[in-house]
Structure 1
Amino acid sequence: MKRVMKKFLAILGVPALLAATTATFAAQPESWQTRFQPPATPIMRQIEWFEAYTLWFIVPITLLVLALLAWCIIRYRASANPTPSRTSHNTMIEVLWTVGPVVVLLFIAVPSFQLLTAQYTPSEEPTMTVKATGVQWYWDYEYQYDEPLTFSSLMLQEGDREAAGKQDVAAYPRLLAVDNEMVVPVDTTIRLLVTGSDVIHAFAMPAFGIKVDAVPGRINETWFRAETEGLYYGQCSELCGKDHAFMPIAIRVVSAEQYESWLTAAQTDLEGANRNLMAQIESGKKLAAAGN
């Protein structure tokens, strides 16, 4: 009974709500998930709105087609209609099924084009640029400053959890946690350059509303502006070989002060910078919990 209740609550989306308020992560896949992850960027909120908007067209059209099929099956079945109609065309029907779809497509196309434009047009000039390179089977990140910071991000192996200080499976889930997260400041417009070094990969972060192919010899550009601090998970979304399923993406969004401190330390000691950042975040959560 308890197991059934857990599945029922999962379908209702209760775990996602609880995770957002009590856990240390911001967004990750949930069991029995039927909706999007909580949006963390303006673009993802627009995508969420557009999905709900299109349902107002898709659902009535689906029900209409279903009703018409049922009506034709029942009304014109052989036993009830032994002499088939020989009507070749109907002007009113021809007009309706031509004009109707055109109007519906216009209502869908206009906001669709607006969303597509927004996905490739930042509202302001990006403050920083990060290059993500897909490799079989991990990601290389390059922070493009005067003194570039580069590092690799591989899936965290179970035996390395303790050494990395990532024993909490809720915050660092199996097959999604990585050894080195991409760290970015909150409320900052970030240009993301995506490419591949060997085969085609794809950089996908559901909570940010981005999904970009990583093509060898080509650089694709997108952007994001995370509005909520936390740890977000995505995955390679292009079949890229035998370990495709073990190529996660993790982005940690922190305050501007924490980011500057991490960046300075990471130039000389990435592992130490990551540990200090995790300690700062954990300390902040304890203080917040004590304040409540």
Structure 2
Amino acid sequence: MAGSERSLGEWVDRSLDVESYKRGVFRRPLLHGALIGSLLVMLLPVVMTLLMSTQPSVQISSSTLTGVGSEGLSNYEAVLFEENFATYLVNSFVMALAVAVGKVGIALLAALALVYYDLPFKRLILLFILFTLALPVPVRIVPMYEIMVSLDWENSMLGLVTPYFASATSVLLLRQHFRSISASMVESAKLDGVGPLKFLVYVLIPMSRSMIAGLFAIAFIWGWNQYLWPLIIINDQSKQVLQVGLAQLNPQAGEALWGLIMAGAVITLLVPLLLMITLREPLLDTVSMQTK
């Protein structure tokens, strides 16, 4: 009797497995089709931008976009050298690199202090860091500008990047990561006479490479995409950045040069895209941790 019940149970289990497998086989093409369709929808604006960047502005305005245009690379040459985008590209790269290095460096030191130092009012400091997340950028623009003018940093790279060095999000993420490191490793470092900075350089940073790479990529792309602050603090056109230069391609009056604008948009997109492809795995790890 027990054997027959066992056989019946095994038959039921196998039947359920077969049914679930059939449902999975049926749903898999639908899922793949939905994913491919979503990918095509997201790629469509990028493909349109690439095609329009090779078109004459007259052809774009007349809505006769049929493929790769007759202008070829001439739009890119005009944007880079006639519209000064080569200079903007260098300025944006220097700005984004400085912002990323500054953000990650200060966040490492702040997280080290919050986790491994017995600071007075540590919880209050942490609450203050959290409070800064509630302050939008427009609220800080006027006081930041007054500080930069008083320091005589207006229209300079220092004035452009210094206000962006502090990052509450980076500090909180690194703090959580440092707290997950085994306490025995910290005690071993103390017994070996390793100081805080050596512990940071030789232990914490090697164990946090993925997190640091992800934060660096996020900070670099964030700095690369800044528009409002560079527009306010920079007066010299030779020191301006790509986002502002791209906005200036659109004239206030007259016909927009859409071919040049799209070529400038493609140039603006290239560096963040290459960085995201290079650091895609640590970037995904950092974003997934940030959403938890």
Q: TM-score, normalised by structure 1?
A: 0.25
Structure in which a larger fraction of residues adopt helix = 2
Please say which structure displays the higher CA radius of gyration. Answer: 2
TM-score (norm 2): 0.25
Q: Which has the higher contact order (CA 8 A, sep 6+)?
A: 2
